[in-house]
Amino acid sequence: MTSQAITEQENINLAAEIIQQGKHAIVLSGAGISTPSGIPDFRSEDDGLWHHHDPWEVASLISFRHSPEGFYNWFQPMAERITQAEPNAAHITLAKLESSGSIKAIITQNIDGLHQKAGSKRVHEVHGTVSTLTCVSCYVTYNVNEFLESYVRDGEIPHCRDCGHVLKPDAILLGEQLPVKTFQKAEAHARKADVILVVGSSLEVMPVAGLPMRSLENGASLIIINNAATYLDERADAVLRTDVAEVLPAILESVANV
């Protein structure tokens, strides 16, 4: 066994021990937990969603107001991927840890709903969701399934059945305020947490990336599982730069043996 493998296993065991001993362990998940399910992230150099598009031109609140067609044309391939995606082993593992009481809440930057699809119940979607749409004029909210097939198949842009105006996905666009009540709940969990597990997030997007600091300020333990470095790696008790879909099941197995 190489020294790298030993170090990784030691970190897995340490992460499991920390989670097992925690009284209010929480998770902050980012795009990296969903890439194994076939959903691309936004910032990777190879296939990130921003690699070929200016985000302010296709995914900002201002651009949506001026040209919702531009947003929907850009988002159509992503919507198809989200529709076809299934939870991977990382989502399923977190759902099991929640079910067992080891994890009290999941704060996610993702809009794909895969945590809920895996069985997690206490999920706070701080960047919104694509599971619902809201009319920009009369503010009626619809379930996305009412419009999804015609949009994914034909590119048909959803419009309100009451007033005829365009519907906006309830995902947060650039320049748009985060859902206040959801973020307040996330902050409350972050302050209460004695363990925070960062999964698949490079911690680059504020204010969500600042949540682990709320936990650290109160003496919490920090575990980071992410392929790239984060600004908090030096503050973490355990850092695992590996595939989340492989290492989280290993942590679950180790938790069971603690």
Taken in order of first residue, the domains within the chain and their CATH numbers are: 1-39+87-127+178-258 (3.40.50.1220), 46-84+130-171 (3.30.1600.10)
* CB contact set of 93 (below 8 Å; sequence gap of 6+): 248, 249, 251, 252
Its sign, for the CA torsion 48, 210, 134, 84, is: positive
pLDDT over 50 (residue 57): yes
Predicted TM-score (pTM) of the model is 0.90
How confident is the model over 169-213, as pLDDT tens digits?
999 999 999 999 999 999 999 999 999 999 999 999 999 999 999
Active site residues: 127
Residues in Cβ contact with 177 at an 8 Å cutoff, skipping those fewer than 6 apart: none
Taking the alpha carbons of 257, 92, 200, 208 in that order, is the dihedral positive or negative?
negative
DSSP 56: H
130 phi and psi, to 5 degrees?
A: -100, 10
